[in-house]
Each structure stands twice: as structure tokens, then as C-alpha cells.
Structure 1
Amino acid sequence: MVAIPDFDAGAMENWGLITYREMLLLYTPLASTAKVRQTIAEVVAHELAHQWFGNLVTMRWWDDLWLNEGFASYMQYAGADHAADGAFHLMEQFPIRSLQQAMEPDELESSHALQVPEAQSPADIFTIFDQITYDKGASMVRMMQYLIGEEVLRKGLMQYLKSNVYDVTTMHNLWEILFTLNEEQPTANVTLGWDKKPVNIEQLMYCWITGPGFPLVTIDRNYDNATATISQKRFYITDKATSRSTGECAGQWYVPLWQRNKTATWGPSWLEPNSVLLLELNGTGSDDWLIVNPKARAYFRTLYDDRNWDLITEQLLKDHTVYDVETRSQLIDDAFALARAGELHYSKALALSQYLRMETHFVPWETGIKVLNHLGKMYDEHEMYGTFKQYFLELIVPLFERTSNDAKLRADDILQERLRSTSWRFACHLDHAGCVDRARALYGQYMQECSGPGQRSGSECNP
């Protein structure tokens, strides 16, 4: 690996000599921020993964570019986490770093499928090096990992690489290997599909790969008989979208549905294309919340009935740690995206966000700040901006005060360091007096002592 000054590309996976911009390979232990250290770990893991996914085994044509970039993107999280013994918590960050990033362009009419047969000319090929190819591709790999298990996926990828070494391949080769390995497991471990047979992975993944967009899964609970009616349609961020999905998939997917209540997690159940699923919720009482897609395992948004949203919000306010950080992050992202799309009243999304006063983890806060910052931009010149700003401050100030006490923060906790940086940035952006005063004092100290990684973005320093 070599760092090159003024290198045009961020990094390039040349076989045997990976090249990087200096800022994406080199860091100074006492000066570089946690975000810089994490970025370097991700980029190095991504480019190393390309030695196998892309170099040793290459897609047959550019229409399957995601076989290179999607797998390398997934490995940048799994690989860096493994190499650093989980110090970066990258798989916990997957929803905010990849899944939600992919959904933003994928919820537009202009989105494209992962497999792009139209990619023929150099100009066409260049355009598909985007978030869909990288982040949706990685999300498909992660969904497959949850579906068939990490061990089966690992064995399948090893076999895929060995059987196609120094050759070109298509996704059909991969699906065939994964299907066989799943089928050959002990009966109790085999993942079954919608037909109660070993899941047909090629059939399952076909519309996820060849069609644009992703599902909005609607959950309508019957609280009297403990059932839920579940349906799907393609999710658009705006109801003004003029063209709707057509063609072979027509905005319908085989959707794996994991579920969770206060006592258990189970699944997957299957929602099939062009059908409605009646799901029995045994053990879920009328006053119990239901979570579909815990940990954001699968690539879709979830719309609950109003009562279930209220039950989820009540639990978050009572004890948010009942839900893992990935679930908390995705609940926030789903609620505000659904509100933007006109599928959910903003009052429900804002009510849910109130729990952030108690949130102490970086991942849900990163999502919370993203969605609230978007609202802030929408209200920027509106007479209601002052009210919104005060609401945002009421959420962020408790976090700022907690993270201002340096003694409570472990120096080796990267997510805590990033959380502190985030809380300070937005508390000061919202003109919180305590933050502004502290920032001025620290800046004055910094100008004298040239110190303070994690709380600066510039390189100003007195001689």
C-alpha cells in the first residue's frame, strides 16, 4: 500500500499495489480525530477486499458491478471490525453508513436497479459508480447474511472465489453456491422460503437486484385477535411521483419479515409479491409493541398503524435500551421518511424523536440529527423556525452536557468521541450559550497550545 500526494482518486485497488490519497492512509495518533481513524480503516478494508472481489474474481460485465463494489463495501465494515476486534463498531453503524445512505437515492423515481443492462458505453458505466451500487449492494449482502447465517455466507463466498479464480462471473454463480450450501445444512439450520422448502435464493434476489427501489411494508394490527395484515408497495419519498414501477417485478419483492415483541424475536416470515400476509402474533398482547425488521436486517421501510407507533414511542420514552441501536436508528429514519412522503403524520415522528433526550449512543443520534437538520433547513426562513430550533435544543442540550464532562468519556471509545464531536457541533450551531462559551474558550486555548484533536476541523495555530 502506498500513499500518493495529490492523488486524483480516493483510493485504487491495483492488484498488488493499492494506492491512496495521503489523507486516506496516514494519520497522526495524537492529532487525527476518531472519524479520520474510522475512515482510514474502512477505506483500507474496502481496497483490500477488492483483491478478491474484483481482482481475483471479476464480474463478467459492468452491469454486475455491484458484485465488486457491493461485496467490497460490505467487507469494509465486517473486515475492519474483525481486524480491530470491534473497536470501530462498524457493523452497528451499518444502518447509518450504508443502508440509510442507499435508501435516499433509491426512494426517488430516478433510481436504478443494482444490475444495469444499459451500462454499455464508458459514460453509462461511469454513472453507476454510485450509492446504489456500493451501499445497496452492501445491504443486499448483509440481508443475505442474516437470512442464511454468517457461517453459510462465509463458506459460500470462499467457494465462489475458489471456483471462479482468475475468471469472470455472474451473480447466478453466487446464488447457486449459496443455495446448495443452505440446502446441505442440518435440517434444523436450513433457512426455508415462502414455499416451506430451502429458500430459492436466485428467485428471492431477482427483483431485489434487477428492479429499482425498495418496499414499504405496511403493518395493520388487529388488537382484538392478535393478528397483523401485512402488505407492500414500492416506497417513494414524494407522493408526486408520476411513474410507477412496471415490468416483471413492478415494485414487488419476496420480503423476509423478522419480528420482535417484548419477550422474543422470530422469523423470517415471508411476504410474497402481489399478496397480503395475515400474520398471527401469538404472545403479543393488545398493549404490547411489535417491531418488524429488528436491527434493520432487511432493506425496506416499515409503516405501522398509529397505535403501534404510540406503543413503540411509549417504550422508547420508558426505556429505549430495550431496542438495539440499529433498531432505534431505523425507527427514527423510517418515521421521518414516512412523514416526508405523506404516509405518516409528522406528529408521530416528532413524538418518537422526544426520546432522544435520553439517548446516549452515536448511531441513533446520527440518524436523529440528520432528519432534524433536514427539518431545520425546511423551516430556515419560516416564522416557525424559532420554535423548531428550541425543540432541537431541548433534545441536544442534555447530550451536550453529558459529553462535556471529559472525565466520563473513555479515551479509546471511538463512538463516544464521535458523539461528543457531533453534540458540540450542533449545540453550537443552534447557538446554545454554554456550547458557544466553551468553544470560544477551547479555541483560545488551542491557538495558544496547538492541541485538541476531535474538536477542530481546521489547522490554524499560533507560531
Structure 2
Amino acid sequence: MENWGLITIRQRDGLYKDGLFPIIQKHNLQEIIAHEVSHQWFGNLVTMKWWSDLWLNEGFATLISLKGVDFLENTTWRYDDRAESQCFALRSDQTNGMIPISGGEYSNPGRYTELTSHMNHIIYKKSSIIIRMIERIIEEDTFKKGLRRFLNSFLYKNADHEDLFNVLVYVHDSSAGGHLSGQNFSLSDVMDTWIRQPHFPLVHVNRKEGSIVTIRQEKYEHVPYLARANEQVWKIPIFYDDPVSAKHKVFWLTDKQPQVFDMAGQYVVDPHQLTYMRIRYDIEMYSDITMALLHDYRVIPTNSRSRLIDDTFSMAEHGQMSYKVAFNVTMYMSKEVSF
């Protein structure tokens, strides 16, 4: 617990001896301590107004704990590689009746108990992924400036997500850069679609010619034959690497209409798994992806390899695609070293 002045921790989660404990114990210990220390800022110094914004505490503590351990260990993979967290979050979030990140049914004790195991993945893991997505949309330096302003503005006070977004929008608008320049919607408009509604989008990718594809969105339905008519729409940032500058750029998918998109020679959309979604390719593209993995799996980033496996097996579970596609994607794995 992150009690102000006296952080407490279970003994079994607070001990590690090199050579005696598995290395995962060291990683868990580092992340737990960093998580609780992070709460001294997000939770104690600035406290949420109500439980409906619990994610402001837990999402930030989860994300910053990974940054902290990466700093301690001189690595980057904990923060950059959120594949495992995303898999857990998506699996919970595809459950029928799941609550949104913000404004869920926290006031109903029975409902809370019923959803607790899934909610932990939403409040801790999904929210941390969405926060990282915010950081990538407005870019890291602007994000840091915004957080400093937020913490100083609400020092020893209570805040909600609107307060956070107002600060980030102010800092973003007063600085150059970011991926919202020239758009007719704000950061708040984008984030409302991610935190105020549950579940997540499925993005369909169909090849037109070469690296030119059409992409469209719909709500992901894990059990299609139980699906009802749904009008949920997300403002989806499709991150891609500019082949000239090698910098991240964003293509916005903001409604249900198909859009033409240039994958710029990449085998997969959102290669670094920066956006919280599942992706479904057409059968020809899955064939090309499978052959690329077998030839040299490193041409597809680690996060995307993880996403390909999780997405295809998830969609195969209720007949949305053949298990043949899913198993074909795994054929390269005897060579995999990113365990």
C-alpha cells in the first residue's frame, strides 16, 4: 500500500537474492516498489476526486513504475514493450458488459465484486496503455511538461480526468508538434472515445495494391453470434514510421468509413503496438506475413509478433477466422528469442 509516509509491502513480494530466486521475482519486486513510490505523486500529492477516476492513480503508477525500473536497469523494454499487458487487458475488455476506464459502476458493490478480476486489468493495464498512447499523440516532451503543470496546479488537491486533459491540451496548444496539428478535434475528443466507453475497436485491413490498403473500424465482438447493433466509434491513431525521417507519424481513423492508407512497406499496421486495438488482415496479407516471419521474423517488431498471435487465436476461438491462419502465424516460433 502507498500510504503517505509508510509504504507497506508483503514480505514475499519484498525479498530477492540473486541466484536463489528466479529473475522474475527481481522484476516483480522492482516494479511493485516503483509502483508504490509513484503513488506518492499520483494518488497522494494529487488525489482523484472520486473512485470513477481511479485510473488516474493506478494507470500512471503502473506506467511510471516501468519507466522507473528501466531507468534503474538502464533498459527500455519494460516501457516500450507492453505486449503482455495489452494481451491481458484486451482479453478482459472483450468480456460482455465490461465497464469503461472512467465513470464505471463503482457505486454498485455487487457489480464491483462481479467484475473485480477483469476491472484490475482495465484500471491498471488498459489505462496505462491509453496513457502511453496519449504520450505518443502529443509527444514525450509535451507530455512531461503537461504532467509537471498538472501536479503543480493540483498540489495537495483533488483532480479528475477533465483537469488532466485541460492541462495537457493547454500545454499541447502552446507548443509546436504533436499529432493533432491540423485536425478538427482535440485531445479531449480523442480520449473521451477511449476512457468513457468500454471495449475496443477491431481494425480491418484489406490490400488494394502493393502497400496501399483500406482500413476501417468496428467494435470488436469476441462472440459474433451474440453481438447486438452497436454504434461505438473511436478516434484511432494509426502510428507508422515515416520512411524518410524514421519518426512516428499518425494517420487518423475517426469514423466507420473505410480509409485508404499507405503502409510504407511495412508488413503490419501499427508495427510497435502503440494503439489499443485488435487488427484483422485479409487472407492474402496473412499469407505474406506468415512467409515473412518464416524467412526472417525480425522484419516484424516484437510487439507486432505478439499481437499477431493473440489477435488470430482470439478471433479463431469463435469462428471469426480459421485456426489454420492462427497456427500458420506461429510456425516461425522455433526461432523466436524474445521470450
Instruction: State TM-score, norm by structure 1.
Output: 0.68
Alignment partner, residue 153 of structure 1: 143
Q: State which of 269, 274, 280 in structure 2 corresponds to 1:303.
A: 280
| Residues 6-405 of structure 1 mapped to structure 2, 5 A cutoff | 12-86=1-75, 89-96=77-84, 98-120=85-107, 130-186=120-176, 189-192=177-180, 196-197=182-183, 200-223=186-209, 227-245=212-230, 250-259=231-240, 267-280=249-262, 284=265, 290-362=267-339
Cα drift, residue 132 of structure 1: 0.8
Unaligned runs of 5+ in 1: 1-11, 363-463
Assess if the C-alpha contact under 8 Å between 1:109 and 1:241 holds in 2: no
Unaligned runs of 5+ in 2: none
Distance 1:54 1:162 in 2: 14
Distance 2:318 2:198 in 1: 18
Assess if the C-alpha contact under 8 Å between 2:309 and 2:330 holds in 1: yes
Cα drift, residue 138 of structure 1: 0.6
Cα drift, residue 244 of structure 1: 4.8
Q: CA deviation digits over 1:277-300, x for unaligned, max 9?
A: 12245x54xxxx531111110000
Q: Percent identity?
A: 30
SS at match of 1:278: strand
Cα drift, residue 260 of structure 1: 5.6
Assess if the C-alpha contact under 8 Å between 1:105 and 1:131 holds in 2: yes
Assess if the C-alpha contact under 8 Å between 2:146 and 2:167 holds in 1: yes
Q: CA deviation digits over 1:348-371, x for unaligned, max 9?
A: 111110010111111xxxxxxxxx
Q: CA deviation digits over 1:153-189, x for unaligned, max 9?
A: 1221111111001111111111112122222223xx2
SS at match of 1:38: helix
Distance 1:115 1:190 in 2: 24
Q: Alpha carbons of 1:116 and 1:314: their partners in 2 closer, same or farther (altered >3 Å)?
A: same
Q: Which amino acid aligns with 2:32?
A: V
User: Highest Rg: 1 or 2?
Assistant: 1
Q: Which amino acid aligns with 2:289?
A: I
Instruction: Return 204-213 or 147-156, whichever deviates more.
Output: 147-156
Distance 2:31 2:172 in 1: 30
SS at match of 2:9: strand
Instruction: Return 345-354 or 266-275, whichever deviates more.
Output: 266-275
Specify which structure has the bigger relative contact order, considering alpha-carbon pairs within 8 angstroms and separated by 6 or more residues: 2
Cα drift, residue 95 of structure 1: 1.3
Assess if the C-alpha contact under 8 Å between 1:261 and 1:290 holds in 2: no
Q: Alpha carbons of 1:65 and 1:198: their partners in 2 closer, same or farther (altered >3 Å)?
A: same
Cα drift, residue 342 of structure 1: 2.8
Distance 1:343 1:202 in 2: 33
Q: Which amino acid aligns with 2:207?
A: R
Q: Alpha carbons of 1:242 and 1:322: their partners in 2 closer, same or farther (altered >3 Å)?
A: closer
Distance 2:108 2:262 in 1: 50
Q: Which amino acid aligns with 2:145?
A: K
Q: CA deviation digits over 1:4-45, x for unaligned, max 9?
A: xxxxxxxx1100110000111121223111010010011111
Q: Alpha carbons of 1:41 and 1:199: their partners in 2 closer, same or farther (altered >3 Å)?
A: farther
SS at match of 1:294: coil
Cα drift, residue 84 of structure 1: 2.1
Alignment partner, residue 442 of structure 1: none
Alignment partner, residue 450 of structure 1: none
Cα drift, residue 118 of structure 1: 3.0
Q: Alpha carbons of 1:149 and 1:164: their partners in 2 closer, same or farther (altered >3 Å)?
A: same
Cα drift, residue 76 of structure 1: 1.9
Distance 1:158 1:261 in 2: 30
SS at match of 1:270: strand
Cα drift, residue 266 of structure 1: 5.4
Cα drift, residue 336 of structure 1: 1.4
SS at match of 1:219: strand
Q: CA deviation digits over 1:330-387, x for unaligned, max 9?
A: 121122122224332211111110010111111xxxxxxxxxxxxxxxxxxxxxxxxx
Please give the root-mean-square deviation of Cα atoms over the aligned residues, in Å.
2.3
Q: Alpha carbons of 1:199 and 1:83: their partners in 2 closer, same or farther (altered >3 Å)?
A: farther
Distance 2:328 2:160 in 1: 46
Cα drift, residue 204 of structure 1: 0.3
Distance 1:145 1:270 in 2: 16
Q: CA deviation digits over 1:194-245, x for unaligned, max 9?
A: xx23861100010210101000000111127x53221111112222324454
Q: Alpha carbons of 1:121 and 1:212: their partners in 2 closer, same or farther (altered >3 Å)?
A: closer
Distance 2:102 2:73 in 1: 33
Cα drift, residue 323 of structure 1: 2.2
Cα drift, residue 112 of structure 1: 1.0
